[in-house]
């Protein structure tokens, strides 16, 4: 199945347009991150208070969120517990003591749902040390994923160039999403970190498909230059890339609009990531391989010339 007909777009020749666009987007995102002193971290990383509240009957999380916003807890996170009338409420700690925070929320919930027999099942304080440990673990999760991808691609394609170029594209994807979240003033939570890892998996899969076609075409199209082989390979996989990305994109749109506030940021990060990941496979990863290989060939040719001289 082909969504579009046979194309003959000179992707490699237009690679500097892609590089420039990527640098502009990254520059805006990095500027936002620097001006704000880094990403806006959620409760999971900065610390806060966790409450588990039980109702006699089920109360929609959106109603609880509205009530908490009315008493000043706009950043509170509400999570339903499956097969239970309990909910988990996470919110940043203010200048009030923990007991006063809990009492303030409990009184508001009791006032709103007076006939529900509300009970506090547990209260926990997430300290800054736990937040720092989670930040470190999130960083290492991304770092190790990139290292393993380099090793895997280098082994599969027998070239470290493909692996490094692929990971550079992945770092590009994550930084773009992180920068856009900073510009939009969105929080970085563990759920968003999970979306980053999902983006890494999706993007590298798309990149490997293009790499695989390049490897096949190098064997078949021996009379073509490496420049032409990469262009032909990207054009060959373009229809497949668009169909796959559109399918995932439509599913994420539904998740974004009707999935609820709990996974809203997760879906938003994936929406941006699918677009950027598809773009980077075409306009960043493959052209980088061309530039790298061409530069190496020029160096080897220069060494041979100097040796003969």
What is the secondary structure of 153-219 as a DSSP string? HHHHHT-HHHHHHHHHHHHHHHHHHHHHHHHTT-EE-HHHHHHHHHHHHHHHHHHHHHHHHHHHHHH
Q: Which tens digits make up the pLDDT trace of 142-155? A: 788 888 888 888 78
Hey, what domains does the chain have and what are their CATH numbers?
Answer: 15-40+130-303 (1.20.1640.10), 48-126 (3.30.70.3400)
pLDDT range class, residue 32, cuts 50, 70, 90: very high
Q: Is pLDDT at 309 greater than 60 in this prediction?
A: no
The span from the CA of 177 to the CA of 172, in Å, is 9
Q: What is the pLDDT of residues 100-119, one digit of tens each?
A: 888 888 888 888 887 667 88
Q: How many whole angstroms separate alpha carbon 88 and alpha carbon 76?
A: 10
CA distance 36 to 32: 6
* Displacement of CA 253 from its chain's centroid (Å): 15
75 has a pLDDT exceeding 80: no
The total of other beta-carbon atoms located within 10 Å of residue 255's CB is 17
Task: Please name the helix (run of DSSP H) or strand (run of DSSP E) that holds residue 79, with its range, or none.
Answer: strand 77-80
Regarding beta strands 187-188 and 86-91, do their DSSP bridges make them parallel or antiparallel, or are they unpaired?
A: unpaired
Q: What is the pTM of this model?
A: 0.78
What average pLDDT does the chain have? Answer: 85
């Amino acid at each position: 199945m082909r969504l579009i007909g046979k194309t003959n777009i000179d992707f490699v020749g237009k690679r500097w347009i892609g590089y420039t666009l990527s640098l502009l987007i990254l520059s805006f995102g990095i500027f936002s991150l620097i001006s704000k002193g880094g990403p806006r971290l959620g409760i999971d990383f900065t610390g806060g208070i966790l409450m588990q509240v039980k109702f006699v009957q089920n109360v929609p999380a959106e109603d609880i969120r509205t009530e908490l916003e009315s008493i000043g807890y706009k950043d509170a996170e509400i999570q339903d517990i499956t097969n239970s009338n309990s909910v988990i409420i996470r919110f940043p700690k203010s200048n009030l003591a923990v007991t006063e925070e809990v009492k303030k929320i409990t009184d508001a919930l009791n006032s709103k749902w007076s006939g529900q027999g509300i009970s506090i099942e547990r209260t926990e304080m997430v300290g800054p040390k736990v937040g720092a440990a989670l930040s470190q673990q999130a960083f290492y999760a991304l770092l190790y994923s990139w290292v393993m991808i380099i090793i895997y691609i280098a082994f599969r394609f027998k070239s470290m160039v493909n692996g490094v170029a692929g990971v550079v594209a992945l770092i590009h994807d994550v930084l773009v999403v992180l920068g856009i979240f900073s510009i939009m003033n969105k929080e970085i939570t563990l759920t968003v970190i999970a979306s980053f890892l999902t983006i890494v998996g999706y993007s590298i899969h798309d990149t490997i498909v293009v790499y695989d076609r390049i490897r096949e075409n190098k064997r078949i199209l021996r009379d073509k230059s490496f420049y032409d082989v990469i262009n032909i390979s990207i054009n060959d996989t373009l229809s497949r890339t668009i169909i796959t990305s559109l399918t995932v994109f439509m599913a994420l749109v539904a998740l974004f609009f009707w999935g609820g506030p709990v996974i809203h940021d997760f879906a938003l990060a994936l929406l941006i990531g699918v677009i950027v990941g598809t773009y980077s496979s075409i306009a960043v990863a493959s052209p980088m391989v061309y530039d790298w290989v061409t530069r190496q060939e020029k160096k080897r040719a220069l060494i041979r010339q100097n040796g003969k001289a």
